[in-house]
Structure 1
């Protein structure tokens, strides 16, 4: 029986992998562009605007778009609707572990009350087992992301640690945050601090913008202001909205505590770029508070230069993002 169960799991994983790859391969250029833009909007906390873009690729069968569509619907409606469940199910049946985890956490059996559950409906526990089995299979193949998802399913810290050790940058960042909050066992506080710094450094160097800011802050505490400036700029250049605001604000300080060169033109430009973030996150309010302070010290010509620089920045850098946790 053990052999049959193992073979069944392997067969399932191979099937969902094939279906997922096939669905993504069938996207046209327009559908792929819609998916990309939809995810960008979602990561800017614009769930309403993201939905129609994501739906184009989701209707074409793309599992990642289906997952994000479910997220956009759930976020906008503030609860798990039947439409969101349907989108998650479509993705989960193609092997999307994120969707399986979402469905496993859904305890509100609204369809039971309404007596309109689909015939193929699975219980949360079934989705949880499917998520665990699929994550285990992919982790066994060396997927560090799957190791992280195994942690999300089981809550076992060893999977998060293993994911971080295998180079998954989000796990490195997340584990560092957990250590900072007191998780893990260290004989000395200095050992904890060393572990946090090592994880943030690895994640930052691996390209994760949130870790760039965290690592920069650690360097600042050690009076390494050159390192602090470097990682703030890197995070901003990666499109991290919080870093763009911070970096832009630092450039607008006539006397910088951290050694930033006063540059009101670039400061105004960077802050102006953030005005497109008029969804959630409160970024526009922060920018509108800062810009009048800057403009009061600038000429009309300087402001015009800033406007041109803002356009150039938007054209030559990644889309702005808050980089929310995918789960």
Structure 2
């Protein structure tokens, strides 16, 4: 079933932006914020009632992530998932269009755009004009569009343009792509340096996934002091994995060279316990089980009294999952 309302979107390309950016009522915005917090913690069932409130109020981002949540629960492109993606696609979301393509909506669900051959082509038609007008988020989206059209070279060109114009997500993806083998570098050290440059740009803009990716490169380059500084910064900004590393290094600083911290088993234990209580983190739980003999009963009691200091800090702990790509 082809949808004539997509024709209007070509005539009014600004519609998606205006609808997506429209202000929600305070209570609906609060529900969306809670839903996105749960999304960041991979709570794909718990997040849905909150995001449904925002989606019903017309929030495109909420529509897309409701589709993502149900998809990630392993349910495939069900009628429910397709419904949310279609609603987001109706308002111009290119990632929803790409999910519809990946799920075979045109074939399996007979849901195709009226004015394009398929959902990839629709995403290209919607996104290319905005990218050419200088929208760096659209440039990044084109990377994914062209990749799914088997034109990786064109996609990388747009990714590089987005990164060069300061998009921190694009900078992070470009840096990680270089680490994964993109481009020609005669020496591994040159590849690491190239990736480091892009990841540093993203990290310096406060982009937490860029910070975490940068720490991996700094580890390979034996830049332990700087690596530790980025771990602390990422922890402050809500990175779950950075918070766990911080706690572990306080409990057992001899474990890794990058643990540039003075031993503080009480504080480290409190941090790990807070992570377990907040997000039921299995890594933190394993570290605690492996290091329990490092604390005396008295130190365990002190740590227990300190847990509240580290529990539910702002910003909330998150895995910072990507918008598209897994």
Contact kept? 1:35, 1:65, Cα under 8 Å:
yes
- The question of 1:60 aligning with 2:57 is answered yes
- The question of 1:242 aligning with 2:241 is answered yes
CA displacement at 1:82 relative to structure 2: 0.7
CA displacement at 1:154 relative to structure 2: 0.9
Go from structure 1 to structure 2 and tell me whether the alpha carbon gap of 1:294 and 1:86 turns closer, same or farther (over 3 Å shift).
same
The equivalent residue for 2:176 is 177
Report the more deviating stretch, 208-217 or 85-94: 208-217
Determine the C-alpha separation between the residues in 2 that align with 1:287 and 1:187: 39
- Aligned partner of residue 183 in structure 1, secondary structure: coil
The equivalent residue for 2:20 is 20
Report the more deviating stretch, 9-18 or 60-69: 9-18
Please show how residues 128-277 of structure 1 align to structure 2 within 5 Å: 128-155=120-147, 156-186=155-185, 188-253=187-252, 255=254, 257-258=257-258, 259-275=260-276, 276-277=278-279
CA displacement at 1:238 relative to structure 2: 1.6
The equivalent residue for 2:151 is none
Determine the C-alpha separation between the residues in 1 that align with 2:268 and 2:13: 50
Please show how residues 65-144 of structure 1 align to structure 2 within 5 Å: 65-107=62-104, 109-112=107-110, 125-144=117-136
Go from structure 1 to structure 2 and tell me whether the alpha carbon gap of 1:83 and 1:123 turns closer, same or farther (over 3 Å shift).
farther
Cα shift readout 1:4-45 (whole Å, capped 9, x = no counterpart) = xxx977623123333333xx32x2111111111111112211
Determine the C-alpha separation between the residues in 1 that align with 2:115 and 2:125: 16
Match of 2:28 among 23, 27, 31: 31
Go from structure 1 to structure 2 and tell me whether the alpha carbon gap of 1:68 and 1:262 turns closer, same or farther (over 3 Å shift).
same
CA displacement at 1:188 relative to structure 2: 5.0
CA displacement at 1:121 relative to structure 2: 6.2
Number of residue pairs the alignment of both structures matches = 307
Please, what is the CA RMSD of the aligned residues? 2.5
Contact kept? 2:272, 2:284, Cα under 8 Å:
yes
Cα shift readout 1:301-327 (whole Å, capped 9, x = no counterpart) = 533443454322334331111111111
Determine the C-alpha separation between the residues in 2 that align with 1:267 and 1:124: 56
> Could you state the TM-score of these two structures normalised by the residue count of structure 2?
0.85
Determine the C-alpha separation between the residues in 2 that align with 1:134 and 1:306: 54
The equivalent residue for 1:313 is 310
Cα shift readout 1:125-172 (whole Å, capped 9, x = no counterpart) = 433223212222222332211111011101221011111111111211
Go from structure 1 to structure 2 and tell me whether the alpha carbon gap of 1:290 and 1:127 turns closer, same or farther (over 3 Å shift).
same
Determine the C-alpha separation between the residues in 2 that align with 1:187 and 1:127: 39
Determine the C-alpha separation between the residues in 1 that align with 2:20 and 2:120: 19
Contact kept? 2:113, 2:122, Cα under 8 Å:
no
Please show how residues 43-54 of structure 1 align to structure 2 within 5 Å: 43-54=40-51
CA displacement at 1:52 relative to structure 2: 1.0
The equivalent residue for 1:288 is 285
> Could you state the TM-score of these two structures normalised by the residue count of structure 1?
0.84
Go from structure 1 to structure 2 and tell me whether the alpha carbon gap of 1:186 and 1:9 turns closer, same or farther (over 3 Å shift).
farther
Go from structure 1 to structure 2 and tell me whether the alpha carbon gap of 1:307 and 1:33 turns closer, same or farther (over 3 Å shift).
farther
Go from structure 1 to structure 2 and tell me whether the alpha carbon gap of 1:232 and 1:81 turns closer, same or farther (over 3 Å shift).
same
Q: Which runs of 5+ in 2 are unaligned?
A: 1-6, 148-154
Determine the C-alpha separation between the residues in 2 that align with 1:125 and 1:237: 47
Determine the C-alpha separation between the residues in 1 that align with 2:198 and 2:235: 20
Determine the C-alpha separation between the residues in 1 that align with 2:109 and 2:39: 27
